[in-house]
Structure 1
């Protein structure tokens, strides 16, 4: 029987290639598939998370710019706000109130008060930056490792193809084509996992940097507002 007679277009569909693959290649494919699903879960989570964070930041900045007192805006945010901006405002006002209660909101103590407020704000920014960057490391690993894992599956599959040639003593393309297709399929899955993860990693790294910059800008404005209050009291 001509080996080519058993080769049909259906022999090269994704399911057939997976089922016919060597167990090592199957393990590579499954691992890459799991990595791809995990990266997409992170991508969707980060997409909605950054959109929500920026919407909340827009609303809070609008409230601060509305002309209302900072105390009123901070009170409207609740006791335990989830967003970083109201937490920063409440932390700064807390330091301000404590300084006034202790009689430290004077010229001689103003510099120390501003330093304490800056430390509170910097701590909040650092924690929030770390929180929004969670998961980016996993995307980086998927983006960089997946092509190499897929390449390993390809190399292994091609080795099996050459082994089939040696055993059957037949160099016909019909003999080696299925094994080579299975091997190349592993590389394709690796690229499918890596490319979205790579694009998302760069996009979310940029978004995280912009969000951190937004927090730092708000902290600078808040520190300036406190200094203005100190100057008015002086």
Structure 2
């Protein structure tokens, strides 16, 4: 008797023996979890690369390198530049285009607009799919709870046709229901952790980009007065 109960309570048996709505909930959560992990690993490499590229470019820039050489490097099609380099290239390119204009304020305003537009595009790229992770983290537990509620309802409904109910009759249905909750948490927890970590990392990069734009504006403004 104990062996039969143990076998019936196996993880695979509970999933295959679950009712169709609960199995559908489990399938949805499995797909969401796979998509979530895909974006987690993909975003990890993107942000790590961006931090390294930003460190590298800031180091070269503040060592006093020639701005035109940095501009050519950022525009080199064979070289994969980072976000900060593209912001610099947009600003410096716009500055060079209007460097002969007499009105310095007009030139600097145009330069800032060019950098700000590139900054917005780069931040949109870095923040892409973060909203998906946030949605997974907030919705998955409720999807799992839906499967749990449905499984428990089925368990109690099946008890109504029995004259004598034991734990052996109730346990499989409740365990099946709780698996849905566990799967919801399994999908949600990594997504929440990843979202918080990546959101913080992108905020820090945004702060560095904004600071660099202000500093580059000052450098170019001093250069225009020479």
TM-score (norm. length: structure 1) = 0.91
2:108 aligns with 114
Matched-pair contact (CA < 8 Å) for 2:94–2:110: yes
Shift of 1:5: 6.4
1:87 aligns with 86
Shift of 1:58: 1.2
What does the per-residue CA deviation read over 1:178-224, in whole Å, with 9 as the maximum and x for residues that have no partner? 00100011101111111111111111111111111111111111101
Q: Which runs of structure 2 are paired with 1:71-220 in the superposition (5 Å)?
A: 71-80=68-77, 82-100=81-99, 103-104=100-101, 106=102, 109-220=103-214
Backbone CA RMSD of aligned residues: 1.5
1:7 aligns with 5
CA–CA distance in 2 between the matches of 1:174 and 1:163?
15
Shift of 1:24: 0.7
Name structure 1 gaps, 5 residues minimum.
Answer: none
1:53 aligns with 50
What does the per-residue CA deviation read over 1:40-62, in whole Å, with 9 as the maximum and x for residues that have no partner? 11110111111111111111111
Shift of 1:79: 3.4
**Number of residue pairs aligned between Structure 1 and Structure 2:** 224
What does the per-residue CA deviation read over 1:140-181, in whole Å, with 9 as the maximum and x for residues that have no partner? 111011111111100100111011101223321111110010
TM-score (norm. length: structure 2) = 0.94
3-state SS, counterpart of residue 167 of structure 1: coil
Query: Is 2:38 aligned against 1:44?
Result: no
CA–CA distance in 2 between the matches of 1:193 and 1:93?
45
* Pair 1:49–1:5, CA change in 2 (3 A): closer
Matched-pair contact (CA < 8 Å) for 2:75–2:89: no
CA–CA distance in 2 between the matches of 1:206 and 1:39?
18
Shift of 1:230: 1.8
